A = this chain, B = another copy of it.
Amino acid sequence: MLKTLNTGDLTPKIEVDARIDKLRAGMAASGIELAIILQNVDILYFTGTLQRGVLAVSADHGPAFFVEKSIYRAHIETPLEIIPIKRDKEVKDILLEKKMYPARCAMELDVVPVAICERWKSLLGLTEVGDLSAIIRDCRLIKSEFEIEQFRRSGEICERVFEKAKTIVKEGIREVDIDAELLAEGRKWGHQGLLRMRGLNQEMMSCYVTHGYSTTVTSGADVPISGIGLTHAIGQGASVNVVRHGIPVIIDYGGGYNGYITDETRAYATGPLKEVFHKPFEVSRDIIDGTTAFAKEGADATEIFDRAFKRVKAAGLEDHFMGYGEGQVSFIGHGLGLEINELPVITPRHKTILKEGMVFAFEPKFIFPGEGAIGIEVDFVVRKDGLERLTKTPLDIVYV
């Protein structure tokens, strides 16, 4: 009965097996004998279920998936065999029985808190643990066709939401009232309800409706436009700021389907935009067109950034590109997946050679203090011969 109530597709066995194989290859290359996986999203990725448990994977022996709760749901959701446990203390003896001796062990040190890591070291009798983070990020970097299908479904939710926005955005409406309607619309079309961002203090809303002044206020978040929010206690997202004529309404909405996140930005306008936004919008479009023509498997992400930045400089817009002043960020694109800050990052800082199956959001944006912001965000999957669009984002201002 659960399957019929839950609308998402379960992860097929062939997917789960391939993911664990990738993990073991990564472990072997790094001399790690046992991986202890504790973070919910990583457990979801490698098992197909988010239920509470611990996944142990050894280089030589099969995975051992310990589940505390709900065993009922985990049974339905994962193709792996489940080892039901009442408490974490049971794990060590079972690992020993299975000859998965916990030597040269690694954990997700980028997300696992110190106290939890120390508890597991003590439970397993370890003096040291290595870091599994980079290996897991690499496993998740290349998406399968199953995963790409989930992104497409997520993109369909976005499409419905952006269509709805055409009927909502108007002069005099508050950002938060637009946000409210779009959140509701997304849920009705199957939005999963929350989006995930990896790491300490990384928080994410599904919808960012910002306009004029709100687009120009920086936050602690590592994004070009975060909005003001309704309270300093969140400090991002829609505010009570009211839509005015001639200034773009920037709607950045994250779809979420079966865990997979798409991330789109469209600019809406009530009547002709002020002059200041014309050139930067053209440049945003040029950058997307140029990137689509240039990038494919084998291209270097730093070169994608450099080409975009060359176009920005030619237009004299470098002070406004991807933020202004302290708000400027050093990337133009970020990987997507079960979390919104996956690899690859399209930045001049890290050389990354694109490969088929990488998925990223690409978001040339310009911020003008005292005026507002403009930009577009599209989602791409890398193919051998080019970039494939995952979302239908129009490369035009949406006039309402």
Q: How far is the CA of A48 from the CA of B232 in the complex (A)?
A: 8
Can you give 21 contacting A-B residue pairs, CB < 8 Å?
A2-B228, A5-B239, A8-B233, A40-B203, A40-B220, A50-B232, A50-B234, A51-B220, A68-B220, A70-B218, A70-B220, A109-B118, A113-B113, A113-B199, A114-B117, A115-B131, A177-B188, A184-B184, A193-B238, A194-B205, A233-B260
**Stretch from A71-79, A348-356, A375-383 contacting the other chain:** A71-79
Closest chain-B Cβ to A171's Cβ sits at a distance in Å of 18
The reply to whether A111 and B113 form a contact with Cβ atoms under 8 Å apart is yes
The reply to whether A44 and B233 form a contact with Cβ atoms under 8 Å apart is yes
The verdict on A347 contacting chain B, using a C-beta distance below 8 Å, is: no
Enumerate chain B residues within 8 angstroms of A326, measured Cβ to Cβ.
69-72
The verdict on A247 contacting chain B, using a C-beta distance below 8 Å, is: no
Most chain B Cβ neighbours within 10 Å, of A51, A109, A184: A184
CB nearest neighbor in B for A45: B233
Among residues 185 to 203 in chain A, which have CB atoms less than 8 Å away from a CB atom of chain B? 185-188, 190-194, 196, 199-201, 203
Q: How far is the CA of A112 from the CA of B115 in the complex (A)?
A: 9
- What does DSSP make chain A's interface, helix, strand, loop or mixed? loop
The reply to whether B180 and A185 form a contact with Cβ atoms under 8 Å apart is yes
Closest chain-B Cβ to A51's Cβ sits at a distance in Å of 4
The reply to whether A200 and B113 form a contact with Cβ atoms under 8 Å apart is yes
The verdict on A229 contacting chain B, using a C-beta distance below 8 Å, is: yes
The verdict on A364 contacting chain B, using a C-beta distance below 8 Å, is: no
The verdict on A295 contacting chain B, using a C-beta distance below 8 Å, is: no
Enumerate chain B residues within 8 angstroms of A5, measured Cβ to Cβ.
213-214, 228, 239-241
The reply to whether B200 and A232 form a contact with Cβ atoms under 8 Å apart is no
Q: How far is the CA of A389 from the CA of B44 in the complex (A)?
A: 40
Enumerate chain B residues within 8 angstroms of A117, measured Cβ to Cβ.
114
The verdict on A327 contacting chain B, using a C-beta distance below 8 Å, is: yes
The verdict on A315 contacting chain B, using a C-beta distance below 8 Å, is: no
Most chain B Cβ neighbours within 10 Å, of A53, A185, A205, A229: A229
The verdict on A372 contacting chain B, using a C-beta distance below 8 Å, is: no
The verdict on A235 contacting chain B, using a C-beta distance below 8 Å, is: yes
Enumerate chain B residues within 8 angstroms of A218, measured Cβ to Cβ.
69-70, 72-73
Decide: A232 near B188, CB < 8 A? Known: A114-B113, A194-B203, A239-B5: no
Closest chain-B Cβ to A344's Cβ sits at a distance in Å of 20
The verdict on A133 contacting chain B, using a C-beta distance below 8 Å, is: yes
The reply to whether A259 and B231 form a contact with Cβ atoms under 8 Å apart is yes
The reply to whether B233 and A50 form a contact with Cβ atoms under 8 Å apart is yes
The verdict on A52 contacting chain B, using a C-beta distance below 8 Å, is: yes
Closest chain-B Cβ to A227's Cβ sits at a distance in Å of 10
CB nearest neighbor in B for A8: B231
Closest chain-B Cβ to A163's Cβ sits at a distance in Å of 16
Please name the 4 residue pairs, one residue from A and one from B, whose CB atoms are nearest each other, closest first: A233-B259, A52-B220, A8-B231, A180-B187
Closest chain-B Cβ to A391's Cβ sits at a distance in Å of 19
The reply to whether A7 and B111 form a contact with Cβ atoms under 8 Å apart is no
Q: A203-214, CB under 8 A of B: which get 1 and which 0?
A: 101000000011
Q: A239-252, CB under 8 A of B: which get 1 and which 0?
A: 11100000000000
The verdict on A179 contacting chain B, using a C-beta distance below 8 Å, is: yes
The verdict on A219 contacting chain B, using a C-beta distance below 8 Å, is: yes
Q: How far is the CA of A39 from the CA of B114 in the complex (A)?
A: 13
CB nearest neighbor in B for A185: B180
The verdict on A14 contacting chain B, using a C-beta distance below 8 Å, is: no
Closest chain-B Cβ to A118's Cβ sits at a distance in Å of 8
Enumerate chain B residues within 8 angstroms of A260, measured Cβ to Cβ.
233
Q: How far is the CA of A229 from the CA of B193 in the complex (A)?
A: 8
Enumerate chain B residues within 8 angstroms of A18, measured Cβ to Cβ.
none
Enumerate chain B residues within 8 angstroms of A179, measured Cβ to Cβ.
187
Closest chain-B Cβ to A180's Cβ sits at a distance in Å of 4
Q: How far is the CA of A70 from the CA of B235 in the complex (A)?
A: 10
